[in-house]
Amino acid sequence: MFKTLDFQDYTAQISLRDKEDRAKYIGSDENWEKAEQAIIEAAAERNLRTVVEYGEAAFYGPKLDFMVKDAIGRKWQLGTIQVDYNLPERFELEYKGSDNQMHRPVMIHRAPFGSMERFVAVLTEHCAGSFPLWLTPDQVAILPIGENYVEYAQKVAQLLNNSDIRALVDERNETAGKKIREAEMSKVPYMLIVGEKEMAANLISVRKHGGADLGQMTVEDFAKLVSTEVSEQLNKNEY
């Protein structure tokens, strides 16, 4: 998940019991040793960069806390996985195994984002508001240069929505320059300008965030361009 969102600088913190004060934890030493060893082995198997912090475990089990550095070097906990042998015991949880006998499960607590509000705030700062194309709420702003072209702009938007591309139409009675400037400030990845020439030829004029003019093309070709870019962004960060 972190690679997909381009968080490259993170450490897996192995959060274990306090070495001295054991009174604040529930469960047997045997269960704690199993859980702690499971966390350590899992981190090693994934070749994670780890640090060990004593006293940072939850009261019911050890944690693997993902500490992520943001764009300006601050460290945040943005995810956690916890191995819990104790709560299933306290709740007397059981399941029937393939041997037709009853067994006690192990509970995994998993919060890949941690606090969602904190995660969104850190991601927004990390991207400086320029979210990757696959993630940004509005992928395309369609800018008709006059009210006579609003209907054509809406038709283009519908075609893009049919291709699972998130597009909005700026229907305001403003100049093309102002619409482009405000779309740039909003960091919308693509702007499509439509006017008399575009409508007559059934084309769109494509402008990328940052000022790159990609010229005229059909809606179908533009949809392919967006689909390719989204695929490339996701694939480059796969394991």
pLDDT of residue 238 exceeding 60, the answer is no
Residues 118 and 162 in one domain: no
Strands, E, within the chain: which ranges?
10-16, 50-54, 63-69, 75-84, 95-96, 102-103, 107-111, 140-144, 167-169, 190-194, 204-208, 213-217
Instruction: Report the pLDDT averaged over residues 129-152.
Output: 93
Q: Give the chain's domain count.
A: 2
Residues 148 and 48 in one domain: no
Render pLDDT for 86-105 as a digit per residue (tens, 0 to 9): 889 899 999 999 999 999 99
Chosen domain end from 127, 157, 174: 127
Neighbours of 5 (CB within 10 A): 19
Chosen domain end from 127, 154, 180: 127
In a domain, 1, yes or no: no
In a domain, 133, yes or no: no
Residues 157 and 105 in one domain: no
Render pLDDT for 37-47 as a digit per residue (tens, 0 to 9): 999 999 999 99
Q: Who has greater pLDDT, 227 or 5?
A: 227
Residues 123 and 68 in one domain: yes
Confidence category of residue 153, pLDDT binned at 50, 70, 90: very high
Domain range for 194: 140-235
In a domain, 4, yes or no: no
In a domain, 5, yes or no: no
In a domain, 46, yes or no: yes
In a domain, 96, yes or no: yes
Residues 180 and 208 in one domain: yes
Neighbours of 213 (CB within 10 A): 10
- Predicted local confidence at residue 237, as pLDDT: 58
Chosen domain end from 69, 94, 127: 127
In a domain, 2, yes or no: no
Render pLDDT for 166-221 as a digit per residue (tens, 0 to 9): 999 999 988 888 999 999 999 999 999 999 999 999 999 999 998 789 999 999 99
pLDDT of residue 50 exceeding 90, the answer is yes
Residues 120 and 175 in one domain: no
pLDDT of residue 239 exceeding 70, the answer is no
